[in-house]
Structure 1
């Protein structure tokens, strides 16, 4: 496994998920297009799943024994993933609130 490519894939997928969640929130707020917001959230979940699969592969390779070096880019990747997961949860709540207000 090429560690650098794996880490960059994690960053890219987590970043893409984050962008999609923000698109979903804007769509709900500005256009009140909740079907499109839901589609953006679905796409975000797929990207987040891809990022999580990379993280799982890295954890499996490390086996809890420090086989994979922890460097700044790895920490950055984990930060992206954590933020994307949190934003996914917040995004769902924000969209639900916009939907409730619109009703």
Structure 2
């Protein structure tokens, strides 16, 4: 993979992972205010961003599986870290929204 394509994949991972985390944070804030349905909509948007991040990651993994070397750099490691944090943050946001929903329903 040429450097520009690799950089585009890495930046895709970072941008879409960051968008996922931002949408999740907004979802938590909405749930805290009692806006559960709006919070769930934000989680849907977060999931869409997460899918885009996974597409970028899958491209890199497919290249490696074809035997094409992917240069591991600090930027690539940083991008993977963003993705893993976004997944964890999304999972926790979903749990928090469910808790707020239960608390507000009582």
TM-score normalised by structure 1 residue count: 0.94
Deviations 1:17-56 (A, max 9, x none): 0000000000000x21011001100000000010011101
Deviations 1:35-87 (A, max 9, x none): 10011000000000100111011000011757000000000000000000011
Structure 1 unaligned regions, length at least 5: none
Let me know the Cα RMSD of the aligned residues: 1.3
Q: Which residue of 1 aligns with 2:55?
A: 53
Q: Which region of structure 1 is more displaced relative to structure 2, 64-73 or 81-90?
A: 64-73
Superposition misfits of 4+ residues, deviation over 3 angstroms: none
1:1-103 map, 5 Å: 2-29=5-32, 31-63=33-65, 65=67, 67-103=69-105
CA distance in 2, matches of 1:18, 1:65: 32
Q: CA deviation at 1:13?
A: 0.1
Structure 2 unaligned regions, length at least 5: none
How many corresponding residue pairs?
102
